[in-house]
Amino acid sequence: MKKRAGAGFLLSVLLPLIGVVLVLTRVLEGWSRPAGFALWGLGWVALIFALRRHEPAAAGVAQAAQKTAGLWARRGRVIIHVLALALAGAVLFTLVPADRVEFVSVPREQLAERIAADLELTERSAAHLERLALQTAPLFSAQGEVIDAEVRGQLLGAWLEYLDHAIALDRVMELHKYFWQINPVAMRDLNARSFLVGYTALVVQTRALASLEKAIGDNRSVESLLNDPRPELGIGKDTYRRLKWRLTDPQTLLRLNAGRLHLKLLQTAGVLGEQVEEPLIAHARAGYDALWRILGRQPELFGDNPLEYLESQAFKAWFPVQKGVAEGMGNLRVTGRENFVTPELLQALQGELEPGDILLERRNWYATNVGLPGFWPHAALYVGTPEEQDAFFADEVDRAATGGVAPSAYLKQSLPELRAAFEVPDQGHPPRVIEAIAEGVTLTSLEHSGNADYLAVLRPRLDKAARLAALVRAYGFFRRPYDFNFDFVTDQALVCSELVYKAYEPGPGKPGVDFALSKAGGRWVLPPNDMARKFATEQGSDSQQLDFVLFLDGHEQDGRAHRRELADFAKTWQRPKWDHLQQ
């Protein structure tokens, strides 16, 4: 009996924990959340089973239940009254904030001017957001899970336009929620008009957000893009998520419905109704009706938003664990031998490389190889030194990406931090490679980055101008952190292959390499092994986009790397992860 109870207690802990991991890692894609909640429910079943089988625990539960019943019998009415007063206080402070603001204490003429200006601002924003919702709804709703560079730009442009008006309306709402402090006797008209301005701003902004959310639906890729921070534009992380939570926030719902009632009372009393007020009244009415039609068709939001909030909070706790595990596995190697591709060998091959070449690397016996798909686990970009770039991109026609100037001069003028990093030796050698590693996007020497057991070099079939443009795009990610969440939609953190993918991502008037993403762990990613696969499957066809440069093939028995031919490399993407099976 004790063993069964112990097993029940253990399962009551393990099952919910596994469920949380499934939800956060999304390994089951669309089934991750249902599976997670199923395991959470089974955890409760296991706990109840254990409590019934464990006599001391069962007795304790029964005693606690008796005490609770007794307390309720003696103090039930007091508890109800206290809860009712607390609820009434929360409603009161939501609808009637007690802060004093300078806005309400200015002379009547100045107050009237401010209300009139905000009335015009709210009307313009309302009309613009209505047009924007109609124009952008097809754009947001038509997206699949893979979003290319052109569409990302369009989505971000529409999102920034929405935010411009949303922030303006936020300021109006925050100011005019204090309308009640305007003397309702001496300045009854201004009191009512201030309410109308603030309430309409709330309705318009919430309706626009609901329309945006309706268009996006459950598309996690678009949500990730909108939640990506843009510090250069003053946009913080998870902006869309925080706005989305407002749709079902009790305070928002309370203000919407209480405001609707107050608007009717003011109209019935004849306080509102002047010609200048009619457009806002129309926006408030139509916006309220449209908002509830949207929410009525999406009742799942009232459950999804709290769940997403819990997931986001759980992820904040989980992410350091995920990051720590990834970093630990990255440093864990079950052999102490030197890598086969030595710095001396790399120096001898350096003359064969060109700026813009793609490096594929593998180091045997690292724990990370187990969790990454395919034989090749790492990718990087060879860039050469600034002086080597100047020599390679010597013709002005090749320098469109740098405005016609030499790459070294461009770096000095536009990216001084990166230019300085080129002057810092890496393990005694000049940096020639840009790559995303655990420390972030950084410059490393070829002798350091290429010091692997296997190394392959591929060259995009692009002219020099396109290759320099790719390097400039890669340079823009310098110092950004490593993305331990493996999200290719966002740009603020990157993994190794994502740096290569986004450097060479094609777009309008921007030649590139069309790497296809694949789904892993619920996310669309580009495993480095797929780069080798792309070369092998396209080789000799009209669609070939990559050329073979060289391949150094490690051999465990010989203890060194051998130079191999194109045909040997073309088969590597099919190799198993375990090196002892390859020989």
Q: Where are the domains of the chain?
A: 2-81, 99-299, 343-577
The share of the chain scoring above pLDDT 70, in percent, equals 86
C-alpha span between 53 and 61 (Å, rounded): 12
pLDDT band of residue 312 (cuts 50, 70, 90) is low
The stretch 452-458 carries a mean pLDDT of 95
325 close to 545: Cβ distance less than 8 angstroms = no
Measured CA distances, 315 to 238, 242, 309, 494, 519 (Å): 13, 15, 10, 18, 21
State mean pLDDT over 325-338: 58
Provide mean pLDDT across the span 214-223: 84
Q: For 361-385, how does the pLDDT look when each residue is reduced to its tens digit (9 = 90+)?
A: 998 876 666 556 789 999 999 999 9
Distance CA 163, CA 362 (A): 44
How does pLDDT run across 240-260, given as a tens digit for each residue? 888 888 888 888 889 999 999
Given this model, what pLDDT does residue 344 score?
A: 92
**Between 436 and 334, where is the model more confident?**
436
- Fold of the CATH domain 343-577: endopeptidase fold (from Nostoc punctiforme) (3.90.1720)
Residue 320 binned pLDDT confidence (cut-offs 50, 70, 90)? low
Cα–Cα separations (whole angstroms), residue 320 to 44, 329, 460, 526, 545:
27, 14, 37, 23, 38
Pairwise pLDDT comparison (466 vs 144), residue with the higher score:
466
Q: What is the pLDDT of residue 409?
A: 96
Instruction: Find the range with the poorest average confidence among 9-23, 335-349, 401-415, 561-575.
Output: 9-23
Distance, CA of 509 to CA of 168 (rounded, Å): 35
Segment among 406-410, 499-503, 520-524 with least mean pLDDT: 520-524
Predicted pLDDT of residue 24: 60
Instruction: Inform me whether the pLDDT recorded for 173 exceeds 50.
Output: yes
Tens digit of pLDDT for each residue in 39-69? 778 877 877 777 777 667 667 767 777 777 7
Q: Which residue did the predictor score with more confidence, 306 or 135?
A: 135
Mean pLDDT of 311-319: 54
Which of the 8 DSSP states describes residue 341?
A: S
pTM of the entire predicted model: 0.73
The mean of the pLDDT values for the chain is 84
Chain centroid, CA 132 distance in Å? 24
Could you give the angle at which helices 220-227 and 149-176 cross, rounded to 10 degrees? 60
Q: Is the pLDDT of residue 22 over 90?
A: no
Mean predicted confidence (pLDDT) in 346-357: 94
Residue 355's pLDDT is 97
pLDDT at 334: 55
Residue range 542-564, pLDDT digits in tens: 999 999 999 999 888 888 899 99
Predicted confidence (pLDDT) per residue in 223-232, tens digit:
888 888 887 7
Q: How much is the pLDDT for 573?
A: 93
What pLDDT, on a 0 to 100 scale, did the predictor assign at position 384? 96
Question: Which of 523, 526, 528 is CA-nearest to residue 25?
Answer: 523
Q: 333 near 365, Cβ under 8 Å? A: yes
- Residue 580 has what pLDDT? 47
- Which carries the bigger pLDDT value, residue 205 or residue 75? 205
pLDDT (0 to 100) of residue 445 = 96
What confidence score (pLDDT) does residue 367 get? 60
Band of residue 146 on the pLDDT scale cut at 50, 70, 90: confident
In terms of pLDDT, which residue wins out, 169 or 273?
Answer: 169
* Closest among 94, 95, 263, 126 to 192, alpha carbons compared: 263
Q: Is the pLDDT of residue 286 over 70?
A: yes
- Give residue 23's pLDDT band: very low, low, confident or very high (50, 70, 90): low
